[in-house]
Amino acid sequence: MRQTPTAVSWSKLLLSWVVGFPTGRTMVTPSRDRVHTATRSRDNELTYLWLAIWVGVASGLYFVLRYRGHWGEVDSAIFTQMVGSLPDWNRIKYPNNYSHGYAYSLWAASLSMVWNVDIAQLQRWVTPIVGNVFLALFGYVAFRRWLGSSKLGLLAATSLFLVPELIFTVSRGNHEKLTATLTLLASLSFVRTFQLSKDISKWPVVVSWVVVHYVIIFTLVSLNAFFGAMFVYASLISYGLASAVLWFFPAARRDLRPVMRRFALLALTSLMVMFIVQWYVYPHEGESSRILASILDGFGTVRATGEANSDPYALVQNDWVSRRAYNVVSSFRFVLLGVSFLTWIVLLLRALTRLRKTPVERLFLLTLYGSFGMLLAIGVAIDFLGISAGSNWQVRIYTYFSAFAVPLFVLGVHGLRSLLSRFLPRSLVKHAFATLMVVFIMCSLLKATLDPIVSNRWIAYKVTEMRAIDFWFDNRGDDTLNVGGNMRLYFGYVMQYGWRPGTRGVLETNLSPQAPHLIRSTVNAANAVAWGIPVPAVLLDDWIYDNGESQIVHRIPRTPFQQ
Amino acid sequence: MHSNITLRYCLRVGWLMCCVGVLCSALASSRTWQGEIDNVPTWITVVSRGANRDISDLDANAWWTWGNASTDAYVFAFWRPDDVRVVMTFDQVDGRSQMSLYLNEEGAETIDVTIEEDDVIVNSNGGHPHSVMTTKEGGWFRDGFVNYDFILQKDGQEGKEVVPLDGEFDYVLEVGEAEPGVAGWQTGELLNDPRERWGYPRFGAVVRMPGAGEYIVEEPLMPQFPHFGAGMSEYAWYERNPLPLYYHLEKEKLDYNSIVGFFNGGMYRLHSLSHAPYVNFESPFAMYNFEPGSRETRLVIRAESFPADDFLGPEPKSRTRTTLRYSWKLFDDRDWAYGITVSGPLLHEDEFTIGNHTVKNIAPDRLPDWVVGSEWPLVTFVQPPEDYSGAEGIYFYSAQANEYQPWLAGIDNREPVNLAAPLLLEDTLLDPRQTRGLPPGFRGEYHSAYFRSPQLYFSPIDQRLHLEYGLGGVWNLGDGRVMRFHNFNSDAHIDGWTIETVTTQVEEMLYGQEEGTSALIAKPGVIEEALYAFDDYLLYSSQDTVEIHRTAFEMSEFSLSPPTDASSWEEHKTLLEEYRNGRPVEDMRSWLEAFPGETLVIDNANIRGMRTTEDGFHFTLTMVEDTQVRGELSEPLLGSLRSAGVYALSYDRNEDSWQRQYATPARLELSLTMTSPQTFVPQRLEVAVRNAGVADWFGPAELRIGDDVVHVWENLLVPGGTTVREELIWTPRSAGTLPLVFAADAPISMAETVYIKPTQRITFADALWLPTQGQLRYVVMMFSALLLIMLAFWRTWKVA
């Protein structure tokens, strides 16, 4: 029978959680080496590993099965076409290749050829599952080292799936499924070099991890010169932050000098690897410098006018059925930001008060969180500049930030759960948290799949729509077909067949005179209602094709010259 | 500083002269002539290459006698002795003469050249010649005539770009003779074509047609080589051809001129963005003289054509575009008299050869007949004012406008606005609006769905030529005034002339400009004067006078086709000579004098709202106070009407009778019919506008439901006592009870609101089944995956 806590005990416990976190015998002290998996059996670790893979497989399966593999979106469509062109050219630099990196095209094309799977099918069916499994697997192996506990590592790995942006990122068919997941591996190799270097006898293992780290950095930058180098940027910022903090703690600075030296070496060598790839292995025609120039231009305009050039977030909210729905499916974002930030503050204060006793991986975790937070803030600022290179920097950097926010979130939740277990039945607390996480995962999946129930920006298409477009191309040659108010069917067509309309015919969304025909379908009509935009006025009796679900209609009244 | 430059210049000249002097004295195989060409100081150094001839004793003034055009070299310096701009070296290759021409930056820069013992070494551009001319056989002359069988190969061109010379020829031009001493054809082809989808010239040809003007070419600089000259000439193609290679001292550039001819009569040219045989763009561009042997051009036919699916053509690419400008002169050899322009998807039917190339187009000998004899969907007819001249015909008010092509391709149902309402341009300067506008003094008529061979007729009423079956036209009188031509009964002839003041402005952003350019557009304006011709009646109205004649007249005095040959051109001249000026446009009332008969004159009155009816015509007569009526037609036409008021008058030709009615003002009643309208679903909307008054109503109108503009009528006509119906397609955007607005300048009665039912967003069930095509197994599999991940989370967060 548990005693009812008094007001004093409440405050003591709260204080102990806030200040002494994690404390007490019942709490796991994951950062302590003495706890480090000492009591964990090999079987348990295997169970956790399988659980993580289970989550990854199930998430990937849901992503592809939600639309029966009939999905398409902008980046996936572009990459599908680019990957499809690579085998024709037999080289990594070819016309219309991805200018920021070659590795994804190479990887996907290799898989396609080795498995003899059509690139479009690979992109729609296989790589989403691979991406989700990578996320779970790499997340688990990395976080169990960062958090010093397999159990917490599992919780953190599964928590990655509560971030819908991460599921979307690793599911869709572009380089991000590898850059996001390999960043986790990079963090693992990074932390292992420091953890193992305490034991001088393990130097061959340390060297191996260092080599692995550089290989991963090389791969990351080869995938994307900018986002692949996120960990390098964050490492450099972390080094700066750590150096600045240690300036005020001379004793700790002395103690940590070897660590900082190794840190500097690792970060700077990674930077060199990055430059080697960008300048020599895959010089990408000044793309990065153009982006940098447009960022500087944007800042100049903002400084001159005092006003933001654009507000991409207003547009994002239009993509959802309502603001409330957007907030619900995005609710974990606020939970993650709040809990991780609070935990970060608590742990940071604690680390600063016991700098010399705080494990080095904990220090790195805190500085990396701060660094990615800074990058996120920069991303938000860039979004408001409205530069040509895109207006979703925050969203894309957020995925990397969340990968380092999740461990802190798990530490915070674990502490909170332990705290609540003092006052409430343990099983009740466990069930409550499990239920909450199940709700979050459902929200996450709804958002990650842009489910029509909550989203207006649909990614699904129907086979009958593709049949209608096929009919058009077979019979109308190079003529232009209007596919509705957005690019859903355009992207869908690329994902279905692996090539871009325009080589055979043209699909467009503008109601220009050049596109006198348009495709009508139940999905297009429903999507138009969702967006709140009218279906273009069409001639209701002038259909040239109908397969029961999709029609192609002539939308301009007959003229003396109509063909 | 200045003295330093002068000193350096003197030293350089002295040094060069010394070198030349030393060389001359030592070998006497090169010699420099100094003189002037078109007042430009010129130094020509003749180098006897290899022959070791002594040329020092030859005539000092006739420098061309110092060398030959078979082995020697010529160095041309202008302005300064060291400013060498052209170097020519001659050689013999397999018994054929060859000339290599060296330039630097196409003649704009000095050539670095070294004159050696018996040769000339060009150091600029790696020593590569800019072009090489080689005869196909023999020397530069054959049997006393200039040899026009040669090939000219050029370097320094990559697509449309000028690039450094690399020793590989990028463009080849081949010339052949029509007869000895007369260049009969030439073809030019781009060899270095790195961007096959870019639109730049790839193939060109010129053919001398039978009966072309006398072949006269400018005098060459050196008689032994008849293709080169230098100076500041302005080319006068109607007099003589310029030399094929002409170093222009004003432009400081070497011009490669057409060898066969260019703007002179009897030339048939192709200027194509694609290689032969499927030539496009300016193919053909032909000049006809209508007088054998004359170099004058009396007819220009200029095409702008692209076959269907030609990726080099403008949009819409999927339809064949054949457009032609057909302009001819009549009364003098300088000014254009008339022009027609045609546009349609007509195919080029002929296949013929020019030199070694086969091309698909319309053969030169039948091109005019083909244009005039073919049935075209879109036709315009243009008459410029006197003294409008130019080499390429009439550019304005043209069926060649890019903006008209969507209509012609059947992908835009709106007739191009600028046919009935052209832009009123301020002058004849060319800009992107030229094909859609009329400068002051220009008159244009059109038909946007003609499907006939273009025919013209002469109207005895205004004594001018018109497009037969034209839908209407506009004459830009300048200062915002136009004469509008009406074809009220849509027959073959113009039956209404109105002088209007227009005030509507449109602004367009022209290519390359940062600010919009505005112009008046000839939309219906305020009528100052009008004259109508129906049945046996001619009706004139100014603001305050009406004059009606009942008289016998013809709508057309004669018909004729645009001239296609010498005889039809002469016929045109003969027929139109006495009507060169037409009737005075500023005194329309005087036109009636030529048609005496029974008359009616009403002072202080005017006619408006003229329209034809099934059996006659109808108009509104407005009589104000102090109306004076006189003439024989008073009684049959007006009956007892004398008092001030607005009257609707109709004439019935079957009964030969007039009907008069007091014109109660127009009152419009609008009714809408649609079945269960709902948001985002296209609706069929039947609009009926009834005019309950007697007076006609016409004017702009707009139908709005809620915030949606459902339809705009530029000029809606609702005759008195009738109902106009129109079916519209509309997709509502907003649900609920929405206000209905019919914006028109008339009293209107109608329902005030329309109810639009909302369409529900996609349901959960529909969203669930969205991509699965109703197949249950996919839904089961999807839910299984969802269950798996929920279980995994449940287990993880419960266990861990």
Range of A419-433, B467-481, B710-724 with top mean pLDDT: B467-481
Angle at A521 between CA A518 and CA A526, to 5 degrees: 115
pLDDT at residue B10 tops 60 = no
Spatial separation of the C-alpha atoms in residues B689 and B740, rounded to whole Å? 14
pLDDT at residue A558 tops 80 = no
Q: Do B794 and A532 touch (CB under 8 A)?
A: no
pLDDT score for A29: 44
The H or E element that residue B613 is part of is: strand B598-613
Band of pLDDT at residue B795, cut at 50, 70 and 90: confident
Residue A170, both tokens = 């690793």
pLDDT score for A278: 85
Q: What is the mean pLDDT of residues A13-41?
A: 41
Band of pLDDT at residue B754, cut at 50, 70 and 90: very high
Looking at this protein, which amino acid is placed at residue B255? D
Residue A558, both tokens = 């007959």
**B554, B611 Cβ separation under 8 angstroms:** no
A115: exposed, middle or buried (C-beta count within 10 Å: 0-12, 13-18, 19+)? exposed
CA distance A49 to chain B (A): 11
Please give the residue that has the higher pLDDT: either B436 or B14.
Answer: B436
Cross-strand bridge partners of residue B611: B618
pLDDT score for A282: 87
DSSP symbol at B636: I
pLDDT at residue A363 tops 90 = yes
Instruction: Give the closest residue to A351 by CA, choosing from A6, A132, A10, A31.
Output: A31
pLDDT at residue A35 tops 50 = no
Nearest 5°: phi and psi at A295?
A: -65, -45
Q: What is the mean pLDDT of residues B620-641?
A: 91
Q: Do A161 and B789 touch (CB under 8 A)?
A: yes
Looking at this protein, which amino acid is placed at residue B179? E
Burial B21-58 (b: 16+ CB within 10 A, else e): eebbeebebbbbeeeebeeeebbbbbbbbeeebebeee
pLDDT score for A20: 33
- CB-based contact, B800 to chain A, within 8 Å: yes
pLDDT at residue B800 tops 70 = no
pLDDT at residue A2 tops 50 = no
Spatial separation of the C-alpha atoms in residues A462 and B769, rounded to whole Å? 10
Range of A189-203, A525-539, B572-586 with top mean pLDDT: B572-586
Burial B331-340 (b: 16+ CB within 10 A, else e): eebeebbbbb
Spatial separation of the C-alpha atoms in residues A269 and A263, rounded to whole Å? 10
pLDDT score for B6: 52
The model's pLDDT over B106-159, given as tens digits with 9 standing for 90+, comes to 999 999 999 987 889 999 999 999 999 999 999 999 999 999 999 999 999 998
Range with lowest mean pLDDT among A20-29, A100-109, B525-534: A20-29
pLDDT at residue B765 tops 90 = no
Q: What is the mean pLDDT of residues B764-770?
A: 83
In the sheet that holds B253-256, the strands lie side by side as B228-231, B245-248, B253-256
The model's pLDDT over B80-111, given as tens digits with 9 standing for 90+, comes to 999 999 999 999 999 999 999 999 999 999 99
Q: What is the mean pLDDT of residues B746-775?
A: 85
* CB atoms closer than 10 angstroms to residue B551: 16
pLDDT score for B15: 53
Chain B residue closest to A160 (CA)? Answer: B793
Q: Check the CA dihedral B313-B314-B315-B321 and report its sign.
A: negative
Q: Do B793 and A62 touch (CB under 8 A)?
A: no
Looking at this protein, which amino acid is placed at residue B55? I
pLDDT score for A315: 56
ipTM value of the model? 0.84
CA distance A331 to chain B (A): 17
Q: Do A558 and B413 touch (CB under 8 A)?
A: yes
pLDDT score for B19: 44
The model's pLDDT over A252-270, given as tens digits with 9 standing for 90+, comes to 889 899 999 999 999 999 9
In chain A, residues with a C-beta closer than 8 Å to the C-beta of B781 are: 61, 65
Chain A residue closest to B734 (CA)? Answer: A532
Nearest residue, CB atoms, A557 vs list B413, B782, B797? B413
Band of pLDDT at residue B753, cut at 50, 70 and 90: very high
CA distance A120 to chain B (A): 17
pLDDT score for B3: 47
Contacts of A136 (CB under 8 A, 6+ apart): A52, A53, A55, A56, A57, A59, A157, A158, A160, A161
The model's pLDDT over A458-516, given as tens digits with 9 standing for 90+, comes to 999 999 999 999 898 888 766 788 888 888 999 999 999 887 666 446 787 877 767 77
Instruction: Give the closest residue to A124 by CA, choosing from A168, A190, A80, A78.
Output: A80
Overall size of chain B counted in residues: 800
Instruction: Give the closest residue to A160 by CA, choosing from B792, B226, B310.
Output: B792
pLDDT at residue A21 tops 50 = no
Q: Check the CA dihedral B45-B48-B50-B56 and report its sign.
A: negative
Range with lowest mean pLDDT among A358-367, A386-395, B439-448, B486-495: A386-395
* CB atoms closer than 10 angstroms to residue B770: 24
Chain B residue closest to A51 (CA)? Answer: B792
In chain B, residues with a C-beta closer than 8 Å to the C-beta of A464 are: 773
Nearest residue, CB atoms, A70 vs list B413, B771, B792? B771
Residue B371, both tokens = 């244009």
Express the helix, strand and coil content of chain A in percent, nearest 5 each: 70, 5, 30
List B residues 42-81 in contact with A (Cβ-Cβ < 8 A). none
List A residues 189-208 in contact with B (Cβ-Cβ < 8 A). none
Band of pLDDT at residue A19, cut at 50, 70 and 90: very low
- CB-based contact, A144 to chain B, within 8 Å: no
Nearest residue, CB atoms, B785 vs list A62, A562, A563? A62
Measured in whole angstroms, how far is the alpha carbon of residue B532 from the centre of its chain? 33
pLDDT at residue B218 tops 60 = yes
Instruction: Give the closest residue to A485 by CA, choosing from B710, B733, B407, B769.
Output: B733
Tracing tokens 């999740």 back to the chain, one arrives at A406
- CB-based contact, B681 to chain A, within 8 Å: yes
Residue A24, both tokens = 């007490």
Band of pLDDT at residue A32, cut at 50, 70 and 90: very low
The H or E element that residue B657 is part of is: strand B657-662
- CB-based contact, A158 to chain B, within 8 Å: yes
A226: exposed, middle or buried (C-beta count within 10 Å: 0-12, 13-18, 19+)? buried
Q: Terminal CA-to-CA distance of chain B, rounded, Å?
A: 91
**B371, B339 Cβ separation under 8 angstroms:** no
Question: Does this model's pTM top 0.80?
Answer: no
- Residue B225 three-state SS: strand
pLDDT at residue A388 tops 60 = no
Contacts of B756 (CB under 8 A, 6+ apart): B677, B678, B679, B705, B706, B732, B734, B735, B736, B737, B738
Q: What is the mean pLDDT of residues B163-170?
A: 94
Instruction: Give the closest residue to A365 by CA, choosing from A549, A195, A215.
Output: A195
